[in-house]
Amino acid sequence: MVLYFYPKDNTSGCTTEAVGFRDIAEKFADNNAVVIGVSKDSVNSHRKFADKYSLPFILLADEDKKAIDLYGVFKEKKMYGKTVMGVKRTTFVIDEYGVIERIYSDVKAAGHAEEVYCSLVKR
């Protein structure tokens, strides 16, 4: 499983990342990998985001931040020169036994999906 946490639906970086996963979703599926995106946006927001960009994978609404807190991705970050608390773009690759194999921190949205895919096929 590829579990990726992202800050907000319909923002430029989050859209770039989601579209990246969408564009190679078949490659992930061909390698028995499920992609799941998580943010604190609502189910309705996720539905609109997924429909707008034809996202073929699950988006989980974590409005109460339980998973976000459990995975430790709500952190201090810089935005427009200010320090704020928010969801830090992070991806976890989890094997079939639930073991985290790899963590991608400080993710750059562009090219990230391909980077994750390449690491999966090299295992």
pLDDT > 70 in the chain, percent = 99
- Distance between CA 34 and CA 95 in Å, rounded? 10
For 87-115, the pLDDT digits (tens) are: 999 999 999 999 999 999 989 999 999 99
Using CA atoms, how far residue 121 sits from 3, 36, 109, 111, in Å, is 17, 18, 20, 16
Report, as residue numbers or ranges, the catalytic residues.
14
Domains of the chain: residue spans and CATH: 2-121 (3.40.30.10)
pLDDT band at residue 80 using 50, 70 and 90 as cut-offs: confident
| pLDDT of 53 above 70 | yes
Burial 20-56 (b: 16+ CB within 10 A, else e): bbbeebeebeeeebebbbbbbbeeebbeebbeeeebe
pLDDT band at residue 123 using 50, 70 and 90 as cut-offs: low
